[in-house]
Amino acid sequence: MSDVVDRKALWDITYGLYIVSSVSDTRTNGQIVNSVIQVSAEPPSIALSINKNNLTHRYIEDSGVLAVSVLEEDTPMPFIGLFGFKSGRDVDKMSQVACRNGETGCPIVTDNALSFMEGRVTGSVDCGTHTIFVAEITSSEVLKSGTPLTYAYYQNVKKGTASKNAPTYKGDLKSQETAQEKIVEGTMKKYVCGVCGYIYDPSEGDPEGNIAPGTPFEELPDDWTCPVCGASKDEFAPED
Ligand code: FE
């Protein structure tokens, strides 16, 4: 890659946060996707980007159908972790959430969704690590009113991270941090989740998990789990 490409420039692009689901024979799967856009008014069409290694990618190629659920702003982090950091090869994600069968046969996640749309793939573009799928919407519905979850809110307010298969994955964040950013508040150490990269910051605690700011990692309850991916405490290691 040319050294005139500053990847940090790409970090300023704005996104939402969605679940994209699909089906292959009787198997279903879904995953978090941040890159979903409407690309045409007539016929109503959307485009989205999926990592080629993901199970959902294969299912979309197999069936040619997909659904998108637009997540609401207060979607719980464990729910995002289930779809963002766990593989459908290991867990049956759809059995753990509310969903319905779409008219295309595609499963549609309705938990924490403001609205959904399903459609048939009309084209695709090979983009290296990812494929852009274009789909014509065949049905859609607003489930409730509310504020859609943006990627910025997920990162800045909910302290979420990008999975390695996300188009926006920033690589090893630790190596990119400035020395100043690495200064640990007081004597309490930050701990990093070995599964998803979430960083537990004692000065902030885990408000969604009822952990007060100022709680050292060592004093977290034994049954505390990563708010992003659900990993247990023993998956965490002190930040370098
Ligand atoms: Fe995690």
Q: What is the pLDDT of residues 136-147, one digit of tens each?
A: 999 999 999 999
Provide the pLDDT for residue 182. Answer: 38
Over 70: is that where the pLDDT of 8 sits? yes
3-state SS assignment for residue 136? strand
Mean pLDDT score, 46-62 = 97
Cα-to-centroid distance, 36 and ligand 1 (Å): 24
Over 90: is that where the pLDDT of 64 sits? yes
Mean pLDDT score, 174-181 = 43
d(CA 10, CA 73): 23
Token pair belonging to 71 = 């997540």
Over 50: is that where the pLDDT of 179 sits? no
Over 60: is that where the pLDDT of 177 sits? no
Cα-to-centroid distance, 239 and ligand 1 (Å): 14
d(CA 41, CA 47): 12
Closest to 63 (Cα-Cα) out of 111, 118, 17 = 118
Residues, CB-to-ion distance under 5 Å, ligand 1:
193, 195-196, 198, 226, 228-229, 231
Angle at the Cα of 193 (from 190 to 198), degrees rounded to 5? 75
3-state SS assignment for residue 222? coil
Cα-to-centroid distance, 98 and ligand 1 (Å): 23
Cα-to-centroid distance, 170 and ligand 1 (Å): 16
Quote the distance between the C-alpha of residue 143 and its chain's center: 21
Closest to 120 (Cα-Cα) out of 179, 63, 201, 75 = 63
Cα-to-centroid distance, 27 and ligand 1 (Å): 26
Mean pLDDT score, 152-158 = 85
The DSSP code for 218 is: G
Mean pLDDT score, 22-34 = 96
46 touches 137 (CB < 8 A)? yes
- 88 residue type, one letter: G
Count of residues in the chain: 240
Over 60: is that where the pLDDT of 15 sits? yes
Provide the pLDDT for residue 1. Answer: 55
3-state SS assignment for residue 155? helix
Mean pLDDT score, 118-141 = 98
Can you tell me which residue has the tokens 């023993």? 234
Here the contacts of 200-205 (C-beta below 8 Å, separation 24 or greater) are: 200/236, 201/159, 204/159
16 touches 150 (CB < 8 A)? yes
123 touches 135 (CB < 8 A)? no
Provide the pLDDT for residue 160. Answer: 82
Cα-to-centroid distance, 51 and ligand 1 (Å): 20
Cα-to-centroid distance, 231 and ligand 1 (Å): 5
Cα-to-centroid distance, 159 and ligand 1 (Å): 11
Percent of the chain residues past pLDDT 70, beyond the cut: 92
Cα-to-centroid distance, 161 and ligand 1 (Å): 9
Provide the pLDDT for residue 170. Answer: 76
Cα-to-centroid distance, 226 and ligand 1 (Å): 5
Over 60: is that where the pLDDT of 45 sits? yes
Provide the pLDDT for residue 142. Answer: 98
Over 60: is that where the pLDDT of 151 sits? yes
Cα-to-centroid distance, 3 and ligand 1 (Å): 32
Of the two residues 179 and 211, the one the predictor is more confident about is 211
Provide the pLDDT for residue 219. Answer: 94
Cα-to-centroid distance, 77 and ligand 1 (Å): 10
